Amino acid sequence: MAGPARRPRGLTGSARGLPSPPWRLQGQAWLSLFRGALPGESRATFLLGFARYDDFGTLGFSQLLVARMAPGRVPRLSVLEGWTDSPEAAEGVGALWGLPHEPGVLTHDQGGLGLVDRSAWSVTADGAELVSASFADATGVAPRIPFRAATTQRHEDGTDATGDVTGSARSLPCLAHWDFAAEGPLGWLAGQQPFLSLRARDVRMTVA
């Protein structure tokens, strides 16, 4: 999700005063897939996702994740950047799974009419808006389906950290529009729109 905390071998979350894995999270998510290229790298598929987890799970927090995605039977994610409004969540996901998260102000507005739900998100850090996005979906009638993914990260000390993500959600494709600040850390995506977006309602997820 300021720089990621790192977990020496054998250090558990409880040893740091953090919630120990597995983390059980409940909430909502808005996900988009992009084709793009980081400076000096070849094109790849990237997952950008906003999520809002409630206090009924291990932690309540909001986040934006930016990850390189390797498709497969179990999609594998390498998180490049992230922002969250929870210092505890930032420290926890960094120490336990190596996921980089920085502090940010995440705003979320939600409304709609009839079956169509509309959501708007933005992330501000150091006084500057980095990204905003809007979504329209009809997941109120969506079936609950299972999902699974994995995260793979490399600490600066050379050790690896992996995470296993399993859960279910009421999910359907949705409409999405993103705006990236050209001079911000996601400026390499400025002017681009996703080729696929998904709203996941009533997420129940375990991260181990």
Tens of pLDDT, residues 153-178: 987 677 889 999 999 999 999 999 99
pTM, 2 dp: 0.90
Q: What is the pLDDT of residue 1?
A: 39
5 has pLDDT over 90: no
Alpha-carbon distance 58 to 61, whole Å? Answer: 10
Name the β-bridge partners of 74: none
15 has pLDDT over 80: no
| 23-65 pLDDT, tens digit each | 999 999 999 999 999 999 999 999 999 999 999 999 999 999 9
| 86-120 pLDDT, tens digit each | 999 999 999 999 999 999 999 999 998 888 999 99
Alpha-carbon distance 126 to 104, whole Å? Answer: 8
Structure-token pair, residue 147 = 């999902």
